[in-house]
Structure 1
Amino acid sequence: MLGPQEKNCPITHYRKSQNIVQDKRIWVTYKEGVYDITDFVIEHPGGDQILLAAGSSVEPFWMLYAVHNNPHVLQQLEALRIGNLSKQDSQHSLENMSDPYSSDPPRHAVLKPASVKPFNAETPPFLLVEQFITPNELFYVRNHLPVPQIDPETYELEVEVEGSNKTVLLTLDDLKKFPKHTITATIMCAGNRRSEMTKEKPVKGLNWGPAAVGNATWAGVRLRDVLKKSGINEDDKKWKHVQFEGVDFDPTGKTYGASIPFWKAIDKRGDVILAYEMNGSPIPRDHGFPIRVIVPGVVGARNVKWLGKITVSENESDSHWQQNDYKGFSPSTNWDTVDFSKSPAIQELPVISAICTPSANEVVKVQDGHILVKDLGYAWSGGGQKIVRVDVTVDGGNTWHIADLDCQDAAEPPQHWSWTLWSARIPIRSGIRNVEIWAKAVDSCYNTQPETFRNIWNLRGVLNNAYHRVPIKTQ
């Protein structure tokens, strides 16, 4: 039952409109508590999704968006408590719950989860740099919703030209009739290395280490070929964006969506493909089966998986993940002052590097006055730029040593889409036992990494490309 003050106030199931109806309140329950979230909804950037729980338990909602089920959010919720349910009513409200993630695919045990539902996980860093091409089973996984089950025999991709009657439906077999195009490209999450930025000041987002990144060979059909076959003129100045929608639905019918600039989609040098193969095999379910758009040089958030629809438009995607997430802000911007409409959506990522081995506080043997580290790390830059140098220091930047670029694709910028694997032989002064290795990369436009996270901190914890620093012990 509700507490005494709520007996005359029914729980209102609310659907979001332009303005909240003033004479209605939005209540949810969690376990035995009743919470008034009306004021919170106004400020929440999640759109209609938060209203899935209106008038009922928030627990099924958190089974779908499980990232919210954490101590920080629970603390916020508790401040909104207005009453309590009996244990009987609480159990009754949950008796029909089912797990939306029950049909997710199996995953390799070595992957380290940042969240389980939805499943998000990275490879242990020392394994990440053992091969230039990341095996499918070890490639990091970034999901926002349950993994859809798609029958390739009935799969159709819709291509629409906004504002016209032009709509094309393509089966998987139709797509495979186009000329096949293969690229090797790195995909990286915008929040890669977020765990380091969080040490500067807390941020909201998955606590990724340095391995929310992978390098694979992708094969499929050029997006430009599909667009031209659908009647799109690449010289038409009207079009500004190409939008993508996945088929990973939530109960409101919302799908994951994103968009890229039209020029990137239509330019032959952009190398955007609708991929149906990953490392020579059909793309695994976790990575977008049967079709994933691969936008090389661009943040992973725009590489939409389980692609169901493409729209050529004058406008950016209106999805939550394009408009209210995956954007960078000033270090002075906080959740009280942030305005997502004032910042552009992330496309190309900045230059980055990471030390993958040795790991923090590992004991490393000194030989002939040097530590010799093979497969030390990776470096990558967005926009098709090539890594031209990796600098390493063990004395706080007083002296720098140039790393060896061990594995690097032969492609030239601005179509250099793969990462570079590097190693170094670093001199160590006699008697030094505690050392911190720093690394920074330089790309073909001579962009380099900032020294610390202090001046690039942002409330969403994205664009984490400060020097990578790993403390070790020598013997």
Structure 2
Amino acid sequence: MLLLRPIVRGLWVLQSTPRLAGVAWGSLPRACAAWTPSRAQGTWSAGHSSQRRKVTAVGALLGLGAGLAYGNHRRQATEAEPNAEAAPGAPYPVFTRQEVGQHRSLADRVWVTYGNEVFDITDFVELHPGGQSKILLAAGGALELLWAMYAVHSQEHVLGILRGYKVGELSPEEQSQPTPEDPYAGDPPRHPALKVNSLKPFNAEPPAELLTENYLTPNQLFFKRNHLPVPAVDPASYRLQVEGPRGRTLALSLHELKSRFPKHEVTATLQCAGNRRSEMNRVRPVKGLEWGVAALSTARWGGARLRDVLAHAGYPEEGQAGEQHVGFEGLDQDLSGAAYGASIPYSTAMGCHGDVLLAYEMNGEELPRDHGYPLRVGVPGVVGARNVKWLGRISVSREESQSHWQQNDYKGFSPSVDWDTVDFSTAPAIQELPVQSAITEPAPGAAVPPGELTVKGYAWSGGGRGVGRVDVSLDGGRTWHVAELKGEEQAPGRAWAWQLWQLTGPVAPGSTELDVVCKAVDASYNVQPDTVAPIWNLRGVLSNAWHRVHVTVVQD
């Protein structure tokens, strides 16, 4: 099993959370294993946990869309199921769904069906990137429903891994299986200009050149980050559950949230922890969606202050509650009923200058479904993962949220940590994000005219730290120019939104290529690191090295 773990983990390149959701297969860094078949008297038998597969062939191709070469994957087996009857001329025994259903636990072996085939996945359960709880949802039954939720599994190289665990086939009379309803069928329409990183769940970013066309990102072009299907919420029956300090729970309607509490507006940038992950992936493969430079956007959010709602529920002001956390649960759920969840420190939630909102408006419009309709949390200066959408419940606890996305994701690690040594309990959950900037024009590989070059981009820093300066180089960092900053004036310590910037600089005569670089300095003089390798981490989060774009100068 120890031998299998790094092989299988290397194959499963995750793109979103929960770990199963939104898997992307752009980089398959390690070899896949092929297993030696063992055949006896024309039948294949179900093995036990004491048997271990033998690695007999390996092969993997790197790169987006690359194919994966598999050897002859078949389940090594030593002992036939007592009631298994081999179909004439078939290499596998035949089982009924009832027989498959008897294998629902590690003690009894974990069997699943996919199509008309039966698989014993017991030895894979521990290796599953989504954790045991997710894959065990299908134990003793069909994988189709689970894979409809996490549809990206239906790819040939994923199916190739599954085929290595085949132990039988369904009896002919039980082979018909209704197609599961697509859990994403009710998702809203999206703008066709978005660059899609995963369809189910939907994750997409706008083209970089459109990102900085407007200070406030149009709602249709605002980047989309979903972990699960978009829930359909009836605003008339919607109630926000707020757990009070004395065991009393408030149930607030949307109308009550709008009428009881003063409306507050905040212009804030929202950034995914995986923004610019693709640059880390070029250093070493990471697990996560292949985000470019546009997994962030800016909007004018409107709603009730969280601190007003918590005070109404009976919670004390900041500083009077000790070390506590405010937890949020969304109405989006996986097949087990687990909701997306996250938390922030109590001091952030109740801070008089924190501007944390329960937002029901976005850029002066009703909150769109993809962005949390009818209500979401807006935590300025904090990673997007804590800005829970489709908000259903708020609670206060001395512990952080126990959600997977708080405890086992969205954390940074040393470049020396890999998936065999990672311990998520040793790292704090990401809250405030580091200083960030990127070039949106010109595009990588663009052909530009000689003479002068205009460079555009964005800069932002978490925690309300404003951007003090953006430096731009046209020669790979040997010489620098200070860019012009554009954007709304923001109060010190409450600079929640990005600065757009622009620089027009001279192109040295005779130049044929340019290495354009940008770096930002925030109000606390934090500056971006110059290269990616020292900040690389296995999840590809917090990618904020100098951004570099290589262009060609087209001579007259």
TM, length-normalised to structure 2: 0.79
Q: What's the counterpart of residue 112 of structure 1?
A: 195
Q: What are the within-5 Å matches in structure 2 for residues 113-128 of structure 1?
A: 113-128=196-211
| Cα offset, 1:237, TM superposition | 2.9
Take 2:520 and 2:238, find their aligned partners in 1: how far apart are those partners? 42
2:522 corresponds to 1:439? no
**Partner amino acid, structure 1, of 2:529:** P
**1:227 match: secondary structure:** helix
In the alignment, is the contact (CA less than 8 A) between 2:511 and 2:553 conserved in 1?
yes
| Cα offset, 1:65, TM superposition | 1.9
Q: What's the counterpart of residue 137 of structure 2?
A: 52
Per-residue CA shift, 1:352-398, capped at 9, x if unaligned? 1111111111111123xx3133xx11111111111111111122221
| Cα offset, 1:31, TM superposition | 4.2
Take 1:416 and 1:71, find their aligned partners in 2: how far apart are those partners? 47
Per-residue CA shift, 1:157-183, capped at 9, x if unaligned? 000146x42211100011002001000
1:169 to 251, 258, 274: 251
**Partner amino acid, structure 2, of 1:137:** Q
1:414 to 481, 485, 493: 493
Per-residue CA shift, 1:421-445, capped at 9, x if unaligned? 0111222221111112111111001
Q: What's the counterpart of residue 5 of structure 1?
A: 45
**1:471 match: secondary structure:** strand
Q: What's the counterpart of residue 18 of structure 1?
A: none
- Higher RCO (CA < 8 A, seq sep 6+): 1
In the alignment, is the contact (CA less than 8 A) between 1:218 and 1:277 conserved in 2?
yes
1:305 to 368, 372, 389: 389
Take 1:377 and 1:61, find their aligned partners in 2: how far apart are those partners? 41
**Are residues 159 and 92 of structure 1, via their aligned partners in 2, closer, same or farther at CA, if it must alter by over 3 Å?**
same
| Cα offset, 1:32, TM superposition | 5.1
2:556 corresponds to 1:471? no
Q: What are the within-5 Å matches in structure 2 for residues 192-207 of structure 1?
A: 192-207=275-290
Per-residue CA shift, 1:85-138, capped at 9, x if unaligned? 259589524x24110011111111111110011111110000010000000011
In the alignment, is the contact (CA less than 8 A) between 2:204 and 2:225 conserved in 1?
yes
**Are residues 136 and 34 of structure 1, via their aligned partners in 2, closer, same or farther at CA, if it must alter by over 3 Å?**
same
Per-residue CA shift, 1:177-196, capped at 9, x if unaligned? 20010000000111111111
**2:291 match: secondary structure:** coil
**2:107 match: secondary structure:** coil
| Cα offset, 1:240, TM superposition | 1.0
Q: What are the within-5 Å matches in structure 2 for residues 210-359 of structure 1?
A: 210-234=293-317, 235-359=319-443
| Cα offset, 1:306, TM superposition | 0.3
Q: What's the counterpart of residue 91 of structure 2?
A: none
**2:267 match: secondary structure:** strand
| Cα offset, 1:23, TM superposition | 2.4
2:464 corresponds to 1:379? no
1:187 to 270, 275, 294: 270
**Are residues 43 and 125 of structure 1, via their aligned partners in 2, closer, same or farther at CA, if it must alter by over 3 Å?**
same
In the alignment, is the contact (CA less than 8 A) between 1:325 and 1:340 conserved in 2?
yes
Per-residue CA shift, 1:264-303, capped at 9, x if unaligned? 0011111100000000011000000000100000011100
**Partner amino acid, structure 1, of 2:298:** N
Take 2:376 and 2:518, find their aligned partners in 1: how far apart are those partners? 33
| Cα offset, 1:78, TM superposition | 4.5
Take 1:14 and 1:189, find their aligned partners in 2: how far apart are those partners? 40
**1:245 match: secondary structure:** strand
Q: Which moved more, 1:225-234 or 1:31-40?
A: 31-40
Q: What's the counterpart of residue 428 of structure 1?
A: 507
**Are residues 396 and 66 of structure 1, via their aligned partners in 2, closer, same or farther at CA, if it must alter by over 3 Å?**
same
**Are residues 68 and 469 of structure 1, via their aligned partners in 2, closer, same or farther at CA, if it must alter by over 3 Å?**
farther
| Length, aligned pairs only | 461
| Cα offset, 1:139, TM superposition | 0.4
**2:535 match: secondary structure:** coil
Which residues of structure 2 form unaligned runs of 5+?
1-41, 47-80, 84-98
Per-residue CA shift, 1:195-228, capped at 9, x if unaligned? 1111111111111111111000000000000000
**1:173 match: secondary structure:** helix
**2:353 match: secondary structure:** helix
Q: What's the counterpart of residue 462 of structure 1?
A: 541
**Are residues 22 and 70 of structure 1, via their aligned partners in 2, closer, same or farther at CA, if it must alter by over 3 Å?**
closer
| Cα offset, 1:408, TM superposition | 2.2
| Cα offset, 1:54, TM superposition | 1.7
Take 2:474 and 2:117, find their aligned partners in 1: how far apart are those partners? 53
In the alignment, is the contact (CA less than 8 A) between 1:247 and 1:255 conserved in 2?
yes
**Partner amino acid, structure 1, of 2:100:** I
Q: Which moved more, 1:227-236 or 1:52-61?
A: 52-61
**Are residues 74 and 298 of structure 1, via their aligned partners in 2, closer, same or farther at CA, if it must alter by over 3 Å?**
farther
Take 1:238 and 1:185, find their aligned partners in 2: how far apart are those partners? 28
Take 2:350 and 2:432, find their aligned partners in 1: how far apart are those partners? 16
**Are residues 224 and 83 of structure 1, via their aligned partners in 2, closer, same or farther at CA, if it must alter by over 3 Å?**
same
In the alignment, is the contact (CA less than 8 A) between 1:46 and 1:320 conserved in 2?
no
**Are residues 302 and 36 of structure 1, via their aligned partners in 2, closer, same or farther at CA, if it must alter by over 3 Å?**
same
CA RMSD in angstroms comes to: 2.1
| Cα offset, 1:74, TM superposition | 4.5
**1:335 match: secondary structure:** coil
**Are residues 92 and 463 of structure 1, via their aligned partners in 2, closer, same or farther at CA, if it must alter by over 3 Å?**
same
**Are residues 100 and 87 of structure 1, via their aligned partners in 2, closer, same or farther at CA, if it must alter by over 3 Å?**
farther
| Cα offset, 1:453, TM superposition | 1.2
In the alignment, is the contact (CA less than 8 A) between 2:111 and 2:122 conserved in 1?
yes
**Partner amino acid, structure 1, of 2:254:** L
**Are residues 280 and 111 of structure 1, via their aligned partners in 2, closer, same or farther at CA, if it must alter by over 3 Å?**
same
Take 2:374 and 2:43, find their aligned partners in 1: how far apart are those partners? 51
